[in-house]
Amino acid sequence: MYEIGMYGGTFNPLHLGHVNDIIMAKNQCKKLYIPISISDDPKEIDEKTRITWLKNVTQDMENVEVFPIYSKNLNKETYDWEQGVQDVKNYIGRKIDVVFAGSDYKGENLWENLYKESKVIYFDRKEINISSTEIRQNPYKYFDYLPACVRKYYTKKVCIIGTESCGKTTLVRNLAKAYNTTHVEEAGRYICDEAGGIDNMQKYHYFEILFQHKQDEKIALEHANKVLFIDTDSLITLYYYKLGFKEQSEKDFETIATSISNLNNYDLYLFLEPDVAWVQDGTRTYGKDEVRKENNKILKQILKENHIKYETITGNYEERYEKAKEYVNKLLKGE
């Protein structure tokens, strides 16, 4: 058992190969330090995100400590290794007995020259044959190599929006099944049921919808597989709120709804035009064609005011499903 060990890297991103190495390293040390190299490279994943990942996977490892070290470099070729080593040693403040590294460095004598007073142990990278470079190039091809906390970072969020009875719920459920992933149901649907129906909805119910929907999204994201499908968002709730209360609507609600929308950062919005037959499901009110068209204009105006860009989908249910998949596939391919 070594007294002090060190296993460093950029972890850009963290993957299961890193995790395996960390476990093997911490099992050999009384104390393992993990320095995260942070540079000025704008293409690098931000500092706080990477620190969060490492702290997440090591939170139950009592002998592991994660910390950042900083440099002005933009790549490994310009990295000041001597300064980096000095920063690590200054932070640890004790003799480093062992340095752990991946076998891709073996034979270069890099770590042996940088840490002359330390033993160097190499872990076989082929045991979990993946690299951060490969993941950055195609994260969805190597999604299974990502820890759960990292998968959330790469998961694409697709929000399906539109007025009532335009097929949102059906499409979201079908897409989630087709992509073997999770989805977020419209919180307004079950909160409306709890209230005793749409005519019994009070203002506080709409506030509940805003916060419950966001909480449901957080839970669904934990288990999503590359993409998460979301039935409506806070602006749709704002739309229904304005329809229901008109001149009695409160500015506070609009402020909260738009603030949540600004935080969502969804990757794709699919807007369903109301050109399928209107169906009463017990929560719907606006079934006349002229009313549906007018409400559709109101919703689009709200989206415009909040700078929401979306792809429009029309046609029957089969056409909507096929067109939605086209947009999702392009999103996952980075197109």
CATH number, domain containing residue 115: 3.40.50.620
Q: Which residues of the chain have pLDDT under 50?
A: 281-284, 286-287
201/287 same-domain check: yes
Q: What is the number of structural domains in the chain?
A: 2
The residues, any chain, with a CB within 8 Å of residue 33's CB and separated by 6 or more, are: 4, 5, 6, 7, 64, 65, 67, 88, 91, 92, 96
CATH, residue 226? 3.40.50.300
Query: What is the bridge-based pairing of β-strands 98-102 and 183-184?
Result: unpaired
Same structural domain, 121 and 257? no
- Whether residue 256 lies inside any domain: the answer is yes
Residue 240 is assigned to a structural domain of this protein: yes
Same domain, 202 and 59: no
Distance of CA 49 to the CA centre of its chain: 11
Q: What is the pLDDT of residues 81-140, one digit of tens each?
A: 888 899 999 999 999 999 999 888 887 888 889 999 999 999 988 889 899 999 999 999
Domain that includes residue 79, residue range = 2-141
Give pLDDT, residue 287.
45
Q: What is the pLDDT of residue 81?
A: 81
Same domain, 90 and 182: no
> pLDDT tens for residues 44-67?
999 999 999 999 999 999 999 999
pLDDT for position 284: 47
Task: Report if residue 146 sits inside a domain.
Answer: no
Domain boundary among 83, 107, 141: 141
If asked whether residues 191 and 263 sit together in one domain, one would say yes
Same structural domain, 197 and 307: yes
Same domain, 117 and 193: no
Q: Is the peptide bond before 13 cis (omega within 30 degrees of 0)?
A: yes
Q: What is the pTM of this model?
A: 0.86
Q: Do both 107 and 234 map to the same domain?
A: no
Distance of alpha carbon 311 from alpha carbon 323, whole angstroms: 10
Same domain, 182 and 243: yes
